[in-house]
Structure 1
Amino acid sequence: MSPVITTEQLSLRPFRIEDAQRVSKHAGRPAIARMVQNVPCPYPQLAVEGWIMLHDSLRRRSQAFPFAVATDADGLVGAAGLHRTRGGWILGYWIGEPWQGRGYASEAAGALRDFAAGQLNLPVIGAEWFEDNPASGRVLEKAGFTPTGKTAERFSLGRRARARSVEMEWRSGAAH
C-alpha cells in the first residue's frame, strides 16, 4: 500500500476501483491522452479498472508508485506517479482539464519528488514532456527539474503516433 501524501491543496493517495469512471472520463479525453505516453484515447473504464488492480503488485515489486491526485472539494482531479524504467525512475502526471491552471501539477510533481528522495532514496528522477506541451515543461521546472539537453521520439497511445519529447531530470543536492 502506498502512503498518502498531503500537500497544501492536494492529497496523493492510492487509487480505488471507484476512481475508474473518473479516470476514464478525464484521462481518456484527447487533450489529456495526447500529452502522456501510456493513456489511450478513449480510455475504457474496464481498462482503467485493470490498471488500478495492478497497482499493489507494482508497488510491492518497487516497479511503480501510482497516486490519485485529489482535492477535498473536487475529489480525484488527476494522477501522478513514479515508474521504474531500464534507465532509472521517471515521474509522470496528468491533471484533468477542469482543474488545470491551479498549480496542482506542480504541487503533485514536487510532492512526488520529495517522496522519491525521502522514502525511496532516489538520487535522480527523470521526466519527459512532449514538445507541443510546453506547460508540462514549466511544471517540471517549478518542481526543480532541469533539461538534460536530450530529446527523443516517444510513442503516445493517445496520439497513436510518435512525438518528440524533451528529457529533464532532478538530482538530489542540486540547486532548486
Structure 2
Amino acid sequence: MNWPLTTERLNLQPYEITQAERVSELAGDKAVAATTFVPHPYTLEDAQNWIRTHKEWIKEGKAYPMAMVLKSTNELVGTMTLRVDHKHKKGELAYWVGRTYWGKGYASEAAARMVQYGFETLNLHRIWSAAMSENPASTRVMQKVGLSYEGKLKGDIYHWGEYKDIDVYGMTAPDYLK
C-alpha cells in the first residue's frame, strides 16, 4: 500500500517513532482515557512500544494504526486504526483524538476514509466499532460514517473501578455499496 491515505484535511499514515512523545502527550490526557480504551497513565515508553509493533502489524495485514496528521501543519491530532480479522473478513475501527482537536470532525473524516479503505482495498465483508455508552462523540463518528447501531453490551468492560456499557455499531459491504 502506498501511504498516506488522504482526506480533505488529513493524511493517514503509519507512525514514526519520532511521534512517540506527541502520542504520549495526546493519548496520555486523562480526558482522552476517561471514555476510551486508552490506558492511563500513558507514558512515552508505552507510546514507543506501541509504535514499534506497527510495522509488523501492517506487513501482516493484522492492523493499520494510522497517525491522523493535519495536512496544513503536519500536526498529529490522533489515531485511526483498522484491526483486521482475516478469517471472518471483518475489521474493527478504533480511534482516539487529542482533546484540543475534539469537535472539529477529524475523527469522522478519518473514519470515512478508513471505512473506504477497508471495503474497497482490503475487500472486507464487515466493519464494526465500539464505544463506551458514555462517549456520545464517538458514537456520532460511527453514525456519520454510516455504521448502524447493533446493540449495547451491558457491563462489558471494567474501566476505572466500574463496569461500563459498550455500544456496538457496524456495516457490511452490501450496505456500504448502497
Shorter-chain TM-score above 0.5: yes
- 1:25-174 superposed matches below 5 A: 25-37=25-37, 39-71=38-70, 72-73=72-73, 75-84=75-84, 88-152=90-154, 153-156=156-159, 159=160, 161-174=162-175
- 1:2, 1:166 → 2: CA distance? 33
Q: Cα deviation per residue 1:49-95 (whole Å; 9 max; x = unaligned)?
A: 11101101111222111000010225100001011358742101111
CA RMSD of aligned residues (A): 2.0
Q: Is the 8 A contact 1:78 1:95 kept in 2?
A: yes
Identical counterparts, % of pairs: 32
TM-score (norm 2): 0.89
Unaligned 5+ residue runs, structure 1? none
- 1:171, 1:116 → 2: CA distance? 11
Q: Is the 8 A contact 2:84 2:91 kept in 1?
A: yes
Q: Could you say what secondary structure the match of 1:93 adopts?
A: strand
Q: Could you say what secondary structure the match of 1:154 adopts?
A: strand
- 2:57, 2:161 → 1: CA distance? 25
Q: Which amino acid is 2:52 matched to?
A: M
Q: Is the 8 A contact 1:2 1:13 kept in 2?
A: no
Aligned length: 173
Q: Which amino acid is 2:53 matched to?
A: L
- 1:68, 1:136 → 2: CA distance? 17
Pair 1:123–1:133, CA change in 2 (3 A): same
The one of the two structures with greater contact order (alpha-carbon pairs below 8 A, sep at least 6) is: 1
Q: Is the 8 A contact 2:91 2:118 kept in 1?
A: no
- 2:30, 2:119 → 1: CA distance? 33
Q: Is the 8 A contact 1:127 1:168 kept in 2?
A: yes
TM-score (norm 1): 0.90
Q: Could you say what secondary structure the match of 2:174 adopts?
A: coil
Unaligned 5+ residue runs, structure 2? none
Q: Which amino acid is 2:45 matched to?
A: L
